[in-house]
Structure 1
Amino acid sequence: MFIGLDLGTSGLKAVLIDGAQAILAEATAPLTASRPQSGWSEQDPADWLEAADQVMQALGAQRSLDAVQGIGLSGQMHGATLLDASDTVLRPCILWNDTRSVDEAAGLDADPQFRALTGNIVFPGFTAPKLAWVAKHEPDFFARLARVLLPKDYVRLWLTGEAVAEMSDAAGTSWLDVGKRDWSDDLLAATQMTRAQMPRLVEGSDVSGVLRDTLAARWGLPKGVVVAGGGGDNAASAVGVGVVQAGDAFVSLGTSGVLFAASDAYHPDAATAVHSFCHALPNTWHQMGVILAAADALNWFAGVTGRPPAELTHALGPLQAPARPLFLPYLGGERTPHNDANIRAAFLHLDHSLDTVSMTRVVLEGVTHAIRDSFDALSATGTKIDRLIAVGGGSKSDYWVQAIATSLDIAIDLPVSGDFGGAFGAARLGMMAATGAGAEIATRPDIARTIVPDPSLTASFAQAHARYRDSYVALKGLT
């Protein structure tokens, strides 16, 4: 048996699979982020460990774990977990959707070696500018810094005692030479960092360490359970849904929104704001467009209305043509294609006819238009996407998935267990590490059904997207 742990922003998910990759048990523990200032987003790493303990005990309550051979890790990317020489956390982790380091990111991005070596813009959400911000604004913490870890890798440190990162997550730090799949000493030096402060690197399917005996005993696992390198959340989700070869792609409607395409070569195009990262498997890369608020935008609106997100989406009925009102979902800035940390969300063209149902529709359409922006950016790099798999909590809304399918004019498959893509992919990586298996086990999941575009509405979605793009330009001029 094999376990996958997926450390998300809103919760930590776990799945237990058998040797045939059937899911035997699953569990989730909730997490919350704090926003002490506008544009800031933080979590206490201690909460991750408590959540991991909860889900492991929940799995054990459902099935015996005495035959587990491997554990794989998946997690939210880019977070800066700062540790001192005794591996004590110095401050709350600065998360992926935190944009406080906009000035530091711009400064690093102006240095040509960053795009040349990483293949990416230095976004404010990436890890390196966060450390530059800490050096400037919290020098006492920076002076005590002995090690920086990405979120899932802090969980790994607790699980195994090993400070290790893997390629897909490391690629989102702005310190990795993505083509060479190694830390760049020059990029580290540009942020007053050294290789000694960085974790050891492995591939996602490699063994990164062995579960501590004390934790194995606590959870009823045997001694010697290996922990795989794992993957960043989207790379792990890609392994989970079989997106591991050129031409394979998925769309994720999690807290953020992602359009992800696998590649067998490294083809960066930083100017498009498309991310070019290592995949979680050796000798494989991927490109993705990322928007900062997908399900997060729906959850925000649900909080405003005081109604659960599922209740809002279930009331929508069949897909409709976009109306004149628009929602720009830039609640915390935007990445692809704008790289704009200062832009903020807006509703436009509201009138008296709008109610909760129609406003929900407008919110989903706004995220759909943002996904279309990423699709256009990926297409501009030469990436071709013919079919998509949908994952993430937002994929439970047929209305939303069909809106995206219609906007992109692409059929979208819904896997049977789409909400556990990251955790399932992590479990597959755990299987690879424990058994020596490779990408051949990362097959496409069983598809529950396929949602196809509505050809009668494709033109209206294209027109609405054009107005959406124009609205961003107008709104940017007001900030």
Structure 2
Amino acid sequence: MARFIGLDIGTSAVKAVLVDEAQAVLAEAAEPLATERPRPLWSEQHPDAWWRAVATVLDRLAALAPLAEVAAIGLSGQMHGAVLLGADLKPLRPAILWNDGRAFAEAAALNADHPGLAAIVGVPAMAGFTAPKLAWLARHEPPVRAGLKVALSPKDYLRLVLTGELATDLSDAAGTWWLDEARRDWCDAALAACGLDRSFMPRLVEGTVATGSVRAELGRRWGLPPGVIVAAGAGDTAAGAIGVGVVAEGTAVASLGTSANLLAATACYRPDPGRLVHAFCHALPGRWFQMAAMLNGASCLSWAASLVGADVATLVAEAEAAYAGPGDLVFLPYLAGERTPHDDPHARGAFFGLTAASDRRALVQAVLEGVAFTFADAVDCIAATGTPLGEIAAVGGGARSDLWMRILASVVDRPILRHRGGDKGPAFGAARLARLALTGEAPEAVCAAPPILDRMEPEPGLAAAYRPRLARFRRLYAAVREEFRPL
């Protein structure tokens, strides 16, 4: 029986899963990653750190289960990162990540100088996208820009190391701001706006296409058979959606990983730049999605845990035991700025309403509620485009919390579903793409929704109680927005 590996290069960790033909997860492994923030608004990781982590998780996977029957590997990874390679195809500097806000002026300039491009590339330029980062490099690091040979997304650097191939899939390319989303091809006008052309880009393929084979010496290290193919894969958002079967019009998924997003699959390209909804190619041929992208998800809970010196599980258990309905403390969760609906890299976190009685349980509940409120903004943005939103699947580490899902269902006033294997996230979706690259099966046959573990219905009383608090949350951001800007 063939087996498949899914690799996900996340922001906080690299994860790997081994999946069989019945789509059962046989083994999994993870290795944490650190993020460097050398200056305000900066967020960087070195590509070599990703490769070391990938090697480690594959070592662990091989120790847990023999890999001799693996036939294909699928890749997933954090989107929007700028991996800048020179003529020797080695990194010229650390990668600039999705949550890096340094290129805010360049993003504004791209939008002002090229107002028609947003409808072609899916969304107005924002600081975290790849394109503004290249414009920033030209101004602030001209030697790096002059030495640039090719710009890759994070997962595609791992493909290069694994196979020697330069390629990317359409869902990851969609997040660069250089892709003509309707035509599923590079946009020459967007590239030219950044002083680039197609020679700086990897080849484009659908996520279900094989892009090469694992190098023989690496295969021997992990006990892989000769000729294991590496699928094009997907950006982590698309891969997570594929993992829970969000591939057809009318299906949607909320992801609560380091960042957060709400993705709705669409059967056609449906842009709405004015609402800052991202309209991107899906990783399956002939499919697209709309997405509200939020920069702060479960990372807010990790931050709160480090603040009070306790572990996340303990804090969530305390909050759940004490929960008696909406709290009066409001948390703005914009620790790394925000995209949808604000496009504000300067936005920051804030607690409002602290008293001498505020304890850590109240702080944690406010964090859970604040992130849930950003999903209410996301639902409103996507629904306003005319895309129907019914029940929503939930994935990511944050989806493990019963309390968080209960709050989320009532805040967005829609049922929240958790699926078996949903906690495996983009790595499981990448394994599905690996299988499709090998077998050529119809995507519907492989990418069905896994069995439902549970369903959180919105509670009418809670939903009513949260409405005025959501309104306060929105007023609070509007009131202090200008105060977030540097003095």
TM-score (norm 2): 0.97
Q: CA deviation at 1:289?
A: 0.7
Equivalent residues of 2:329, 2:362 under 8 A apart: no
1:168-187 equivalent positions in 2, closer than 5 A: 168-187=171-190
> Residue 382 of structure 2 aligns with which residue?
378
Structure 1 CA distance for aligned equivalents of residues 474 and 116 of structure 2 = 31
In the alignment, is residue 209 of structure 1 matched against residue 212 of structure 2?
A: yes
Equivalent residues of 2:118, 2:125 under 8 A apart: yes
In the alignment, is residue 86 of structure 1 matched against residue 91 of structure 2?
A: no
Q: CA deviation at 1:388?
A: 1.1
**Which one of the candidate residues 50, 59, 83 is aligned to 1:48?**
50
Q: How many residues matched? A: 479
> Residue 260 of structure 1 aligns with which residue?
263
* Mean Cα deviation higher: 364-373 or 318-327: 318-327
Structure 2 CA distance for aligned equivalents of residues 402 and 34 of structure 1 = 34
Question: Which ranges of structure 2 fall in alignment gaps of 5 or more residues?
Answer: none
Structure 2 CA distance for aligned equivalents of residues 447 and 98 of structure 1 = 36
> Residue 36 of structure 1 aligns with which residue?
38
Q: CA deviation at 1:11?
A: 0.3
1:104-183 equivalent positions in 2, closer than 5 A: 104-110=106-112, 111-183=114-186
In the alignment, is residue 198 of structure 1 matched against residue 212 of structure 2?
A: no
Equivalent residues of 1:279, 1:286 under 8 A apart: yes
> Residue 285 of structure 2 aligns with which residue?
282
1:298-317 equivalent positions in 2, closer than 5 A: 298-317=301-320
> Residue 455 of structure 1 aligns with which residue?
460
> Residue 467 of structure 1 aligns with which residue?
472
**Which one of the candidate residues 407, 412, 419 is aligned to 2:423?**
419
Provide the alpha-carbon RMSD of the alignment.
1.0
Amino acid paired to 1:403 = I
* Per-residue deviation, residues 86-126 of structure 1 (Å, max 9, x unmatched): 01110000000000000000001121232132121101000
Structure 2 CA distance for aligned equivalents of residues 435 and 401 of structure 1 = 36
Q: CA deviation at 1:131?
A: 0.6
Equivalent residues of 1:113, 1:187 under 8 A apart: no
**Which one of the candidate residues 226, 230, 233 is aligned to 1:227?**
230
* Per-residue deviation, residues 384-416 of structure 1 (Å, max 9, x unmatched): 111111100011111111111011111111122
* Other structure's SS at 2:461 match: coil
Structure 1 CA distance for aligned equivalents of residues 342 and 90 of structure 2 = 37
Equivalent residues of 1:149, 1:198 under 8 A apart: yes
Q: CA deviation at 1:453?
A: 1.6
Equivalent residues of 2:119, 2:272 under 8 A apart: no
Structure 1 CA distance for aligned equivalents of residues 264 and 168 of structure 2 = 22
Structure 2 CA distance for aligned equivalents of residues 237 and 343 of structure 1 = 27
Q: CA deviation at 1:296?
A: 1.0
* Per-residue deviation, residues 107-148 of structure 1 (Å, max 9, x unmatched): 011212321321211010000000110110000000000011
Q: CA deviation at 1:477?
A: 3.4
> Residue 368 of structure 1 aligns with which residue?
372
* Other structure's SS at 1:57 match: helix
Structure 2 CA distance for aligned equivalents of residues 98 and 330 of structure 1 = 13
Amino acid paired to 2:439 = T
Equivalent residues of 1:328, 1:346 under 8 A apart: yes
Equivalent residues of 2:119, 2:271 under 8 A apart: no
Q: CA deviation at 1:193?
A: 1.0
Q: CA deviation at 1:322?
A: 2.0
**Which one of the candidate residues 394, 398, 412 is aligned to 1:408?**
412
Q: CA deviation at 1:323?
A: 2.2
Structure 2 CA distance for aligned equivalents of residues 320 and 278 of structure 1 = 42
TM-score (norm 1): 0.99
Structure 1 CA distance for aligned equivalents of residues 194 and 313 of structure 2 = 44
Structure 2 CA distance for aligned equivalents of residues 237 and 323 of structure 1 = 31
Q: CA deviation at 1:478?
A: 2.5
> Residue 356 of structure 1 aligns with which residue?
360
Question: Which ranges of structure 1 fall in alignment gaps of 5 or more residues?
Answer: none
Structure 2 CA distance for aligned equivalents of residues 259 and 446 of structure 1 = 21
Structure 1 CA distance for aligned equivalents of residues 483 and 32 of structure 2 = 37
Q: CA deviation at 1:463?
A: 1.1
Structure 2 CA distance for aligned equivalents of residues 64 and 45 of structure 1 = 27
Identity of aligned residues (%): 49
Q: CA deviation at 1:321?
A: 2.7
Q: CA deviation at 1:317?
A: 2.4
* Per-residue deviation, residues 434-479 of structure 1 (Å, max 9, x unmatched): 1111312101112222222222111111111111111111011323
Structure 2 CA distance for aligned equivalents of residues 211 and 463 of structure 1 = 55
Equivalent residues of 1:274, 1:287 under 8 A apart: yes
Q: CA deviation at 1:73?
A: 0.5
Amino acid paired to 1:388 = I
